[in-house]
Structure 1
Amino acid sequence: MSEEAPGTVPEGKCIGRYQILKRIGAGAMGEVFLARDPHIDRSLAIKTVRLGGLHSADSTKESDNRLRLLREAKAAGKLLHPHIVTLFDADEAEGELFLAFEYVEGCDLERRMASSPPLTLREALQVVRQVAEGLAYAHERGVIHRDVKPSNILLDERGGAKVADFGIARLRGQATELTTTGAVIGSPQYLAPEQVRGEELDGRNDLFSLGVVLYQLLTGQRPFAGETVTTLVYQILHHEPPPVRQLRPSLPPQLESLLARLLAK
């Protein structure tokens, strides 16, 4: 019998009341499992959270990280929208925190972008429109995502888009000793200038990141790139990317105007 890798949950075991079916992914903060809720016979995705993967003003204090996660889960759990992955539960089992999300059959946008054939213009715009609708709904309720990127956009089997992982969402404008100080949360290539500068964030931050995703969908390349984080940060703060119609002349002028607004510094 092979040994389980450190931190994994053997298939057939439970996390809380949820029966684990199989491991389906892993990230910097934990692992993701396909699970079943025996109370209502529903499939869902369980994400375990390593407290060391969360950054707070004092990352050595697990109690601070726990409070932060549960606070943000409470905010995310109020978001009920067809283009947001629903958070059903947040709890702790055997000393490990976990989040129970709606299970979306399909793949994420990052994987879809790497496959053939590429998304058509209509399909790409539909994905971005649906993500924008989900983000607008969250922003109206004071919740921002802070990590909009292709791997956090799930596509169901019909091609519908859902924004995933509001687990690091933060209530807009909420000041607390648990907020991040000097730590970068998010994927560097999709960060907004305000994130890079460590400023207070609002919904415009998510729209900038969505603009980066749209630019990548339309051109096959990101608007900002760099071999080092320093170079990338400089590009985000000071560089104006090539107009999309310079790279893809067949695109309508309205898209160029839209991207200029989304990527405005």
Structure 2
Amino acid sequence: MLAFPPSESLIGTTLGNYYLEQLVGRNELGPVFLGSTDEGSTYLVRFILAPCALDPQERAAYQERFLQVAGEVAALQHRHILPLVDYGSYLGGSYLVTPNLPMQTLISALTKSGPPSLSTIGDYLEQIAQGLEYAHEQGIIHRNLSTDCIFLLRDGRLAIGDFGVMHLLELATPAGQGYPDYGSGEGRAPEQLQEGSCGPCTDVYALGAVLYRLLTTHAVFRDSSREGVYAQHLHAPVTSLQRWRSDLPEALDEIIRQAMEKEPARRFQRPSELVAAYRQAVGLRAGAAERLEESASSSLETATVRDQAAEEAAPASSVAEAGRGRASLWRHLLRRLRVTWNRRSSSSTG
């Protein structure tokens, strides 16, 4: 690991726009600080220290790739992705800055409350899939999706964190030195462990593992060592959900098995395909977002037909007034949608 000063010595340091107020934690990658700005906003400043010793040339190449990857992640703007608001390098280490929001990890919520309802799980899967597919469209694969980097926000919305982190660790690990150990490993796809290429199906594999945890609160594979877990990802079949819950539809076993096929080509090819299969298996008609879109479409269609009929029957002098009425109707419908969405998001946390 790169030489880096003791974490406590950085308290009180100004790092770019951020004053490091206190050390709030450490993980396998490095320290995490609470930082504040002159405007009074607070952020989490998280250091990523390269896991292997790099010579000066390797370090320069890594820093160049870090800036490229971090810039791509910072460009992601989606309601189900935790934003990366800043990044940089300091004393041989790289850092990422995210908002300091009231939230908890999905694994923490599961530990406290147990498995959510099948309907809530469907809404969770839909939110995660939307965030993943948006990132995939930008050419970014998460590579480390798990219940400890998916966050439940105060409004009931999910946001995916850790985009780009595993890729940065892979870039800092020279070939032949093994796969970087980071995170729970609960959804580590076989192609990653074999140092193959990653694609959307890599995240589909991990989403299958997330679904397994949501349904059972247990990881798909467990062992006393991370190497043992990795070996199971490479070779072991998925344990049936019936081991933990006999009340679940048997079709869910097949869905998770397909999501976690060892060969990427045999998996669902998009996260949304997994979500659609889940909804069909448990009898859910549509996800929350789709229901809102259908409701909005129906309401607006009805309003449009009514307005067209009124315009055809009205004198020319009243057309302008009809236009103002439509604008008011649009504002009213948008307010209704926001209220409905907030209520359903809040209820989904139960």
Which range moves more in the overlay, 67-76 or 120-129?
A: 120-129
Structure 1: how far apart are the matches of 2:99 and 2:228?
Answer: 38
Mapping 1:46-195, distance limit 5 Å: 46-50=45-49, 52-53=50-51, 59-60=54-55, 61-93=58-90, 96-116=93-113, 118-168=115-165, 170=167, 181-182=175-176, 183-185=178-180, 186-187=182-183, 188-195=185-192
Give CA-to-partner distance per residue, 1:211-238, whole Å, 9 cap, x none. 1121122122222223344533332122
What is the identity, as a one-letter code, of the residue corresponding to 2:140?
V
Mapping 1:1-80, distance limit 5 Å: 6-8=6-8, 11-38=11-38, 41-50=40-49, 52-53=50-51, 59-60=54-55, 61-80=58-77
- The structure-2 alpha-carbon separation of the partners of 1:221 and 1:181, relative to structure 1 and needing over 3 Å to count, comes to same
What is the identity, as a one-letter code, of the residue corresponding to 1:47?
R
Q: TM-score normalised to the size of structure 1?
A: 0.82
Does the aligned pair in 2 maintain the 1:193–1:237 contact within 8 Å? yes
1:97 Cα offset (Å): 2.8
State percent identity of aligned pairs.
Answer: 27
Structure 1: how far apart are the matches of 2:43 and 2:227?
Answer: 39
Does the aligned pair in 2 maintain the 1:19–1:37 contact within 8 Å? yes
Counting matched residue pairs gives 252
Does the aligned pair in 1 maintain the 2:146–2:210 contact within 8 Å? yes
1:69 Cα offset (Å): 1.7
| Structure 1 segments unaligned to the other structure (5+ residues) | 172-176
Structure index of larger Rg: 2
- The structure-2 alpha-carbon separation of the partners of 1:128 and 1:34, relative to structure 1 and needing over 3 Å to count, comes to farther
- The structure-2 alpha-carbon separation of the partners of 1:206 and 1:9, relative to structure 1 and needing over 3 Å to count, comes to farther
Structure 2: how far apart are the matches of 1:155 and 1:23?
Answer: 23
1:264 Cα offset (Å): 1.6
What is the identity, as a one-letter code, of the residue corresponding to 2:175?
T
Does the aligned pair in 1 maintain the 2:115–2:215 contact within 8 Å? no
Select the structure that is richer in strand. 1
- The structure-2 alpha-carbon separation of the partners of 1:109 and 1:115, relative to structure 1 and needing over 3 Å to count, comes to same
Root-mean-square deviation (Å) = 2.8
What residue is the counterpart of 1:203 in the other structure?
A: 200
- The structure-2 alpha-carbon separation of the partners of 1:24 and 1:160, relative to structure 1 and needing over 3 Å to count, comes to farther
Does the aligned pair in 1 maintain the 2:7–2:23 contact within 8 Å? no
1:205 Cα offset (Å): 0.8
- The structure-2 alpha-carbon separation of the partners of 1:67 and 1:252, relative to structure 1 and needing over 3 Å to count, comes to same
1:12 Cα offset (Å): 4.6
Does the aligned pair in 2 maintain the 1:16–1:92 contact within 8 Å? no
What residue is the counterpart of 1:174 in the other structure?
A: none
SS at match of 2:7: coil
What is the identity, as a one-letter code, of the residue corresponding to 2:195?
G
Select the structure that is richer in helix. 2
Give CA-to-partner distance per residue, 1:77-123, whole Å, 9 cap, x none. 11111111111111234554322223331111222222245534333
Give CA-to-partner distance per residue, 1:3-22, whole Å, 9 cap, x none. xx922355554221212333
- The structure-2 alpha-carbon separation of the partners of 1:232 and 1:48, relative to structure 1 and needing over 3 Å to count, comes to closer
What is the identity, as a one-letter code, of the residue corresponding to 1:49?
I
Give CA-to-partner distance per residue, 1:178-223, whole Å, 9 cap, x none. 7852431444332111112211111111111121121122122222
Q: TM-score normalised to the size of structure 2?
A: 0.64
What residue is the counterpart of 2:274 in the other structure?
A: none
What is the identity, as a one-letter code, of the residue corresponding to 1:84?
I
1:152 Cα offset (Å): 1.0
| Structure 2 segments unaligned to the other structure (5+ residues) | 263-350
1:128 Cα offset (Å): 2.8
Structure 1: how far apart are the matches of 2:135 and 2:166?
Answer: 10
Structure 2: how far apart are the matches of 1:234 and 1:34?
Answer: 37
2:244 corresponds to which of 227, 244, 247:
247
Which range moves more in the overlay, 103-112 or 92-101?
A: 92-101
